Structure 1
Amino acid sequence: MERWFSRITMFWMLFLGEVQSQDWTKCSTGCTCDGNKMSVTCNGLKNVPNDIQKDAKELRLQFNSLSSLPHTAFHGLNKLTILNLWGNKLQTLPPGVFDHLVTLETLGLSNNQLKSLPPGVFDHLTKLTVLWLNENKLQRLPNGVFDKLTNLKELWLQRNQLRSVPQGVFDSLSSLSTISLEANTWDCKSCDILYLSRWIRENPQKVKTSGGRVEDPDGVTCQGTMESVNKITKENTFQAGCPTTTQQMATSPASTTTTETMTVREKQTKPRMKIFQEELFSKASIFFCQVIFTQHVSLVVIHILAEIPLLHIVCVVRKP
């Protein structure tokens, strides 16, 4: 009886603990909670609270003083659909910080101090539809950073320090309808700009201004000029010296491996061929010399033939 009473007590305590964790009347310090919208809004924080309701769907941490995030900051919040981190002081994002947010649809990271993004940082956000990265200090984007975001509809990259984007970085965004690229330091003197230029020409209806969301592909301009990035081509600029697609493939890792394999094969083949040729020539020379000596060819003829270097070596050395 005592054992059963102990088990019932333990079960009841666990039950109460679970109910308490879902109690929207008890909100994290510095935060306000709306149980109807399943929303948590926090202000004046330097760290992300570790007691946020596990069933929260919206977490708004905008305009706090967050300078860094632990990689476990949002673990357990796997029901979030909105995460807003606007207007903080974030300089970096730890790898895996968003891995548990598998239901997230909107992620706001604008107005921070991000200079770079870790590779694969968005790979688990396959339901994401809106991504705000504008008003940061991004100087580059990792290869394939958006490859998993096939449901993304809006991508805001304006007012960063991007000089170019990786080849194919937007090719997987099959649902994209809006992208803002203005007010970056696009380097139109580099061959790396050609992918972006072609992508804008092929998708002009997706390139929008940051304010009115009006279509404006010509608003994406080269650094230091008002020339539109989408006007930059190999044909009408000095970019004519840029490598073609075939040349790029030739310098790719796969092509390099093929080239190295061919080189190895050549190294393996050439010595055998050379040895075979030398052996054949040597045997022919020996036979020729034997004929000369057995037939008692005059010494004058021998001396004339001996002027040929290889015959000289063979015949003189092997002369009976």
Structure 2
Amino acid sequence: MCFSAVFVILGILFCALCRCLECPFGCECFAVIRTVKCVSKDLLTAPENIPGYARTVIITGNNIHQIGPSSFTEPENITNIILSNNRLTEMASHTFSSLVNLRFLDLSGNQLALIHPEALSIPGSPLQELNLSQSLYNFTALTDLTTALRWGGLAGLLRLDLSGNKLALLPPGMFSHLPNLQQLFLTNNSLVAVYSGTFSGMNHLEVLDLTHNTFSTFRTDALLELDKLGDIRILLGNNPYTCSCEINEFVAWLNKSRAKVDVDAVRCASPGALTDARLRGLSIQDIGCVVPVLAEVADLTLQTSYVFLGLVLGLVGMVFLFVLYLNRKGMKKWINEMRDACRDVLEGYHYRYEIDSDPRLGHISADSRRAQRQSGISLSQQLPSDTSVAPTKTQVRQLTISPPVNL
């Protein structure tokens, strides 16, 4: 019995010794849970000779400034790697290309300043979750990350965390190469606006977290961009919203949007009278927006002016027609006189035209013309001697249109 117990103890010690021999320097290995932990060991490089049974590798709190293809070459079975708080500044190309089963990658709490375009490229696109919170050093690192997301072949990525990176601007189309992304976390940044095309290509997004940024409102193009995402969950709380007239459109969007918004956390930060007031349900009068009211009044005044102008013009037309009706006899007489006068003038012109166009009358001598004039005078003498009686139109016409004398 005693010998059996001794053999068991020796076996356990032997297995423990073998495990220690397999475990990298400065790390702790747990074969039962298939985990390797290298926490706060002041490592300068990624540990080598990681056991083949390892599925999870935790390397945190060290001084590893650079990782590359040589950092992880042997352990093909690793599914989770946590590299947080290691002061990483550079990721070389194809750093994780040998980890064909990698599902979860945590690079949070680092100071990445240089990310190569294919740093996240893994054959088969196995990566599903990527944590880059508090890991980007500056805006240049954001540009590098945008390129890495484009060329990394991350079609299978489902969750991306970019929280706490002091991001003030998201490049248009930054996430367009992540077609299956379901959760995007942008909390605790310095975003001030969402522009057209920011979330293009994200057809399967389910959660968008924009809390704890510096949004004061959302303008038309931003609201249209959010509407394109459909009825997803959008977190917009804990932003310094300014409840002035400019926020009226955002308030209207909150009241009618299909998206699931955390409306209880979307509150006014200013002015003082509306501090901590919920945006949903605010009226135009609450936010002091009088411009739309004045516009409506101006439109109503303009419509009233058009109606009044129409009434005045109608009244003037009726008066004009009434005056014409009262003077219909005088108007008729004046029209008849004008018609007779025009007829006389036209007949005179017609007769003169016939005389001028007749070739037989071209050789009339001056004597015959003089005789014609004398004949006209003798006819005029036949008129009544009383000058007070005016000649009739027929007499005037006979004097004017006298027949030519036969030669």
- Please report how far the alpha carbon of residue 230 of structure 1 lies from its aligned counterpart in structure 2 after TM superposition: 1.7
Asked if structure 2 preserves the Cα contact closer than 8 Å seen for 1:24 and 1:35, the reply is no
Judge which range, 234-243 or 148-157, deviates more: 234-243
Preserved CA contact (<8 Å) 1:33 1:40: no
Q: Distance in 2 between matches of 1:102 and 1:47?
A: 23
Verify: 1:173 aligned to 2:229, yes or no.
yes
Q: Distance in 2 between matches of 1:36 and 1:242?
A: 63
SS in 2 for 1:218: helix
Deviation at 1:75, TM superposition (A): 4.0
Identify which of 179, 204, 210 aligns with 1:157.
Answer: 210
Question: How big is the shift at 1:184?
Answer: 1.1
Structure 2 CA distance for partners of 1:52 and 1:175, relative to 1, 3 Å: farther
Per mean C-alpha deviation after superposition, the further-off stretch among 193-202 and 28-37 is: 28-37
Q: Distance in 2 between matches of 1:219 and 1:139?
A: 18
SS at match of 2:227: coil
| 1:238 pairs with 2:285 | no
Contact 1:31 1:40 in 2 (8 A): no
User: Are the counterparts in 2 of residues 32 and 41 from structure 1 also a CA contact under 8 Å?
Assistant: no
CA distance in 2, matches of 1:34, 1:203: 48
- Secondary structure in 1 aligned to 2:81? strand
TM-score relative to the length of structure 2: 0.46
Match of 1:127 among 146, 171, 180: 180
**SS of match in other structure, 1:40:** strand
Q: Does residue 152 of structure 2 align to residue 106 of structure 1?
A: no
1:116/1:98 CA distance change after superposition, 3 Å: same
Q: Cα 1:41–1:148, aligned 2, differ >3 Å: closer, same or farther?
A: same
Higher-Rg structure is 2
1:153: Cα distance to partner? 1.2
Query: Retained in 2: the 8 A contact 1:68–1:89?
Result: no
Equivalent residue for 1:82, pick from 116, 122, 129: 129
Unaligned 5+ runs, structure 1: 1-22, 209-216, 244-290, 296-320
Counterpart in 2 of 1:48? 91
The answer to whether the 8 A contact 1:119-1:145 is kept is: yes
- What is the deviation of 1:200? 2.6
Match of 1:256 in 2: none
- Shift of the alpha carbon at 1:221? 0.9
Rounded to whole Å, the distance in 1 between the matches of 2:248 and 2:78 is: 46
Q: Match for residue 194 of structure 1?
A: 248
Structure 2 spans left out of the alignment, 5+ residues: 1-51, 58-66, 294-344, 350-407
CA-based RMSD: 3.7
Give, in whole Å, the separation in 2 of the partners of 1:147 and 1:238: 35
* Cα distance change of structure 1 residues 79 and 196 upon mapping to structure 2, 3 Å threshold: farther
TM-score (norm 1): 0.57
Q: Higher RCO, 1 or 2 (CA under 8 Å, sep at least 6)?
A: 1
What's the CA shift string for 1:284-320, capped at 9, x where partnerless? Answer: xxxxxxx9xx99xxxxxxxxxxxxxxxxxxxxxxxxx
Q: How far apart in 1 are the matches of 2:238 and 2:266?
A: 7
Identity of aligned residues (%): 25
Contact residue 210 and residue 235 of structure 2 kept, 8 A = yes
Residues 84, 109 of structure 1: 8 Å contact kept: yes
> What is the total number of aligned residue pairs between the two structures?
217
